[in-house]
């Protein structure tokens, strides 16, 4: 109980700092001016015997300090501000939460290494069958194919696209005789195109090869 302590006359006052090395947290009591270490309490688990709260206050704790030579002592510490006591608790809880997470990750990694490994390779003579929709299997190269209509000259015409049928439903026959274009006479069954007109006598633009610059 903190009420049994001499709270009005503490034996020492300073600052408290929590550090960590590996999975162990260290509660360090330091001089608030010089930072000299007064005492430290290694904490290997929390809650545990290294840090215990009192029954009559949330601002006071009992910690187990060690000097590194095997000597230990239990002392009482308290915080003037209740918020500092809350931060003290949260700092220890966060550290050991991280320790548990690291231990769980290491255990899972070890289980994966020791567990049986899957062999996804094909065994000798093993085959698989794939069923692909909308694909017809051709047996022996004698599958039925749709013939394309032939036209004179060895060319083949592709079938019309869906919905592209002509109004009469019939294909136009190839031209056997030359068609007559409007305004163009036909001579000897050959199309006679208009002859190019003669160039004008004088070049209105002049000779470009004599242009300066």
Residue 167 lies in a domain: no
Per-residue pLDDT tens digits for 179-199:
555 555 555 445 555 555 555
- What are the Cα distances from residue 116, in Å, to 107, 110, 113, 121, 124? 16, 12, 8, 15, 21
Residue 126 lies in a domain: no
Per-residue pLDDT tens digits for 53-100:
999 999 999 999 998 888 999 999 999 899 999 999 999 999 999 999
Residue 85 lies in a domain: yes
What CATH number is attached to the domain comprising 71? 2.30.29.30
Residue 95 lies in a domain: yes
User: Is 57 in contact with 73 (CB distance < 8 Å)?
Assistant: no
Per DSSP, what are the bridge partners of residue 190? 187
Which residues form the domain of 63?
2-114
Predicted TM-score of the model (pTM): 0.50
Residue 187 lies in a domain: no
* Residue 132 reports pLDDT greater than 90: no
* Residue 9 reports pLDDT greater than 70: yes
Number of domains in the chain: 1
User: Is 42 in contact with 66 (CB distance < 8 Å)?
Assistant: yes
DSSP per-residue codes, 59-128: SEEEEEEE-SSS-EEEEEEE-SSHHHHHHHHHHHHHHHHHHHHHHHHHHHHHHHHHSPPP--SPPTT---
The whole-number pLDDT of residue 128 equals: 79
Cα-based angle 180, 184, 189 (whole degrees, multiple of 5): 50
* Residue 140 reports pLDDT greater than 60: no
* Residue 178 confidence class, pLDDT cut points 50, 70, 90: low
Residue 140 lies in a domain: no
* Residue 48 confidence class, pLDDT cut points 50, 70, 90: confident
Label residue 189 left, alpha or beta by phi (over 0 means left) and psi (-120 to 50 means alpha). left
Cis amide bond preceding 47, omega within 30: yes
Residue 190 lies in a domain: no
Residue 101 lies in a domain: yes
Q: Is 43 exposed, middle or buried (0-12, 13-18, 19+ CB in 10 A)?
A: buried
């Amino acid at each position: 109980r903190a009420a049994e302590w001499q709270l009005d006359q503490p034996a020492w006052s300073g600052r408290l700092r929590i550090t960590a090395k590996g999975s162990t947290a260290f509660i360090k009591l330091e001089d608030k001016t010089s930072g000299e270490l007064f005492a430290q309490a290694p904490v290997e688990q929390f809650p545990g015997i290294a840090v215990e709260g009192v029954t009559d206050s949330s601002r006071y704790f009992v910690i187990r300090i060690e000097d590194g030579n095997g000597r230990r002592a239990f002392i009482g510490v308290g915080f003037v501000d209740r918020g500092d006591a809350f931060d003290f608790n949260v700092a220890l809880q966060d550290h050991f939460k991280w320790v548990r997470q690291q231990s769980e990750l290491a255990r899972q990694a070890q289980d994966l290494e020791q567990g049986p490994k899957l062999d996804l390779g094909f065994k000798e003579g093993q085959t698989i069958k794939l069923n692909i929709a909308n694909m017809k299997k051709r047996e022996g190269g004698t599958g039925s194919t749709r013939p394309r209509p032939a036209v004179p000259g060895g060319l083949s015409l592709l079938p019309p696209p869906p919905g592209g049928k002509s109004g009469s439903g019939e294909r136009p026959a190839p031209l056997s005789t030359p068609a007559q274009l409007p305004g163009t006479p036909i001579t000897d069954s050959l199309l006679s195109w208009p002859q190019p007109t003669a160039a004008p006598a004088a070049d209105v633009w002049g000779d470009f090869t004599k242009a300066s610059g």
